[in-house]
């Protein structure tokens, strides 16, 4: 076996796991934010949903901007130097490590996803400043203790960590299970850690129709929730102002538009 054969075999195994016959949320979202990593099946459902509810494109883009503002706030004003980003999605501009290390070059970031296409593009998430570090875990949100154990190789859990779960919890069908997963992840983080969540919400007929159309496409379903359910993820945490709001209203640099996506940042006492 040559030196590179194991790497080539691993790459082939990853490619074999990529299903191009059904839409996929990471590729679909990548299409909406202007990325290049998507297939015809993703563009077809994307264009169909644009006809039903054009506002979903705004949700995708403004949710990405929310990530940037939240990470900038945590790395800057709050001095957070460690980020655990679960449900990473495909690399685009201003990924978590790029935003964090722009503010704090010594920031350490662990990305977690179990999608083969995201894994295939993980190299783009592993660039880092010399002072900091990034890592990628091929792991599952449904196994929170295993995620935390694996992240210990990069993150120091005796110091605060920002847990990022953006546009991901909607894939968990049962709200109670989603709450439990978040609680178990936060239980493994020390006092002074933060939780950052954003998700699409059932706050308009258009968004509900778009969600129904996406779920009927054969993709892994994504369930939009009520705003008070998004708020429930932060029970027991200290909400950072302005609390649970539309992602465009969370510390905006300018007046934001109305979107069917809510987010918040909470601190663990």
pLDDT band at 20 (very low <50, low <70, confident <90, very high): low
Q: Mind listing the pLDDT tens digit for each residue in 126-156?
A: 789 999 999 999 999 999 999 999 999 999 9
Mean pLDDT of 15-42: 67
Say if residue 250's pLDDT is above 50: yes
What pLDDT score was predicted for residue 90? 73
pLDDT at 100: 97
What is the predicted pLDDT for the residue at 171? 92
For residue 10, give both structure tokens. Answer: 């691993």
- Least confident piece of the model among 31-40, 75-84, 108-117: 31-40
Mean pLDDT across the chain = 87
- pLDDT higher than 90, residue 257: no
- Kindly report, residue by residue over 28-37, the tens digit of the pLDDT: 667 776 666 7
Q: What's the 3-state SS for the chain?
A: CCCCHHHHHHHHHHHHCCCCCCCCHHHHHHHHCCCCCCCHHHHHHHHHHHHHCCHHHHHHHHHHHHHHHHHHHHHHCCCCCEEEEECCCCCCCCCHHHHHHHHCCCCEEEEEECCHHHHHCHHHHCCCCCCCEEEEEECCCCCHHHHHHHHCCCCCCCCCCEEEEECCHHHCCCHHHHHHHHHHHHHCCCCCCEEEEEEEECCCHHHHHHHHHHHCCCCCCCCCECHHHHHHCCCCCEECCCCCEEHHHCCCCCCCCCCCEEEEEEECC
Percent of the chain with pLDDT over 70: 86
Specify the pLDDT at position 9: 46
22/187: higher pLDDT: 187
Contact 156, 211 (CB under 8 A): no
What confidence tier does 251 reach under pLDDT thresholds 50, 70, 90? very high
Strand duo 261-267 + 194-200: pairing: antiparallel
For residues 180-185, give the mean pLDDT: 98
The pLDDT, as a whole number, for residue 202 is 95
Q: For residue 8, what are its two tokens?
A: 């080539």
Ranges 1-10, 117-126, 203-212, 218-227: which has the least confidence: 1-10
């Amino acid at each position: 076996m040559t030196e590179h054969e194991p790497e080539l075999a691993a790459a082939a195994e990853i490619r074999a796991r990529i299903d191009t016959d059904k839409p996929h949320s990471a590729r679909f979202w990548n299409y909406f934010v202007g990325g290049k990593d998507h297939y015809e099946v993703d563009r077809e459902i994307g264009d169909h949903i644009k006809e039903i509810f054009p506002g979903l494109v705004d949700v995708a883009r403004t949710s990405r901007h929310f990530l940037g503002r939240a990470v900038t706030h945590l790395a800057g004003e709050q001095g957070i130097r460690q980020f655990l980003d679960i449900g990473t999605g495909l690399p685009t501009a201003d990924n978590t490590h790029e935003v964090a290390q722009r503010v704090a070059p010594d920031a350490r970031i662990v990305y977690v996803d179990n999608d083969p296409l995201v894994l295939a593009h993980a190299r783009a998430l592993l660039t880092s400043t010399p002072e900091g570090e990034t890592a990628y875990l091929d792991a599952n949100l449904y196994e929170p203790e295993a995620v935390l154990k694996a992240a210990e190789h990069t993150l120091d859990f005796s110091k605060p960590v920002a847990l990022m779960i953006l546009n991901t919890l909607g894939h968990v069908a049962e709200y109670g299970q989603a709450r439990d997963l978040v609680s178990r992840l936060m239980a493994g983080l020390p006092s002074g850690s933060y939780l950052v969540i954003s998700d699409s919400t059932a706050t308009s007929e258009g968004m509900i129709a778009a969600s129904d159309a996406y779920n009927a496409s054969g993709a892994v379903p994504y369930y939009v929730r009520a705003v008070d359910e998004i708020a429930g993820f932060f029970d027991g945490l200290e909400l950072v102002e302005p609390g649970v709001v539309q992602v465009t209203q969370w510390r905006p640099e300018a007046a934001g538009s109305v979107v069917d996506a809510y987010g918040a940042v909470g601190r663990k006492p």
